[in-house]
Amino acid sequence: MTCTAERTSVDQINATNILPQTPFWAKVKHKQGFKPNGFRLKVSKALLDPYAGASQQLEEDLLILLKDIGEGHCFAYVPYGPKLEPRFEHQGLFLEKLSESLRPHLPEHCVFIRYDLLWENQWADEQELYDPKGNWQGPPPVQTQEFRVNFNTDHWNLRKSPGDALPKNTFFLDLDRGSEELLYEMRYNTRYNIRQANKKGVEVREYGVEKLDDWYALYEETGIRKGITYQTKDYFLDLFAHQDEQVRVCLLMASHEGQELASMLLVLSHKRATYLFGASASDQRQAMASYALQWEAIKRAKAFGCEEYDMFGCAPNLDRSHPLHGVHLYKKGFGGQLFHRMGCWDYPFQEKGYEMFKAQEMNN
């Protein structure tokens, strides 16, 4: 069971549904202080599946972002990667072998590698972790998670990160259906609100970077109102500046009686659409503009040729105390399937430096 890694140009990374594993994402994150690195992996199929033939090999691209953390040190971050997904009993072994194959290609002062895993959470199907109402209560304690993930590894070196970077829970909507079927699969209230917005005359239009100031004003207002951290305007300029043949950025705005009430950034990458950012005004909620906006985004994603729609972030369950409870209810209404990812896992190369960085993270 082998895994090898060779350097490749970031621009040569193949088209993929996984937005954070595209050259587009590499360029955007480079503007935020990360150093992108491209790799071509060759992995024996037996490493992914213990029941597969040992002679079979798979190839896949991998984007890694290096980030300086001071005093001459850095760490390697893999956003929603690797894309190859092993059976759960080999996930730790695969990550261990991948980490060791990458080690010679990373700077000597690289303290650890962090995988922001897009794989389905190993505990998402365990019925004892659901409450009587069908709400998933999350994975078991960290010690239990680490024991299972490290099982079968040589070094037992994989650690659950203190937190997660990209969204760990999301709704996926299957777009391989007609519009009427998509509407039928939605919750009644969502379908009703879409129709109400249409009756009230809500209009949804697509704009380019020329509308960025209006978008940002609405986005900033939303962030302040909800008390959440929001990006700078330059970040959104970078999104538009770096779209390419693989990735398209769509700025959609919903208006009613001349007032812009809701807006989003929809990103189309290969066969997947991602609802990357959203914003809404605090007034005229009765116009249901955000429902018209989301429905238009879904239709545009289908027209582009996307097969799935990633809502990109929600609460793990219907717990009313969760800060994303309202977001969860809104996104759930469109009929997607709730998906729980594994989140961030670390593989330290320098134990002392890693523990120091981890302690700083936990204190922030």
Query: Cα 53 to the chain's mean position, in Å?
Result: 32
Looking at residues 188-215, what average pLDDT do you find?
A: 95
Query: What is each CA distance from 320 to 154, 241, 301, 326, in whole angstroms?
Result: 42, 39, 31, 8
In sequence order, the β-bridge partners of residue 44 are 57
pLDDT grade for 161, boundaries at 50, 70 and 90: very high
Q: What class does CATH assign to 3-165+341-363?
A: alpha beta
- Of 26-35, 92-101, 160-169, 281-290, the one with minimum mean pLDDT is 281-290
Looking at residues 154-166, what average pLDDT do you find?
A: 95
Report pLDDT for 54. 63
Q: Domain locations in the chain?
A: 3-165+341-363, 177-306
- Of 47-56, 182-191, 277-286, the one with minimum mean pLDDT is 47-56
DSSP for 301-322 reads HHHHT-SEEE-----SS--TTS
Task: Name residue 74's amino acid.
Answer: C
Pairwise CA distance, residues 254 & 295, whole Å:
11
Q: Check whether 297 has a pLDDT greater than 90.
A: yes
Same CATH fold assignment for domains 3-165+341-363 and 177-306: yes
> What are the backbone angles phi and psi of residue 345, rounded to the nearest 5°?
-135, 140
Q: What CATH number matches the domain at 177-306, 3.30.1490.20, 3.10.20.600, 3.90.1150.10, 3.40.630.30?
A: 3.40.630.30
pTM for the complete prediction?
0.94
Report pLDDT for 203. 96
DSSP for 142-195 reads HHHHHHHHHTT-SS---EE-SS-SS-SEEEEEE-SS-HHHHHHHS-HHHHHHHH
Q: Check whether 258 has a pLDDT greater than 90.
A: no
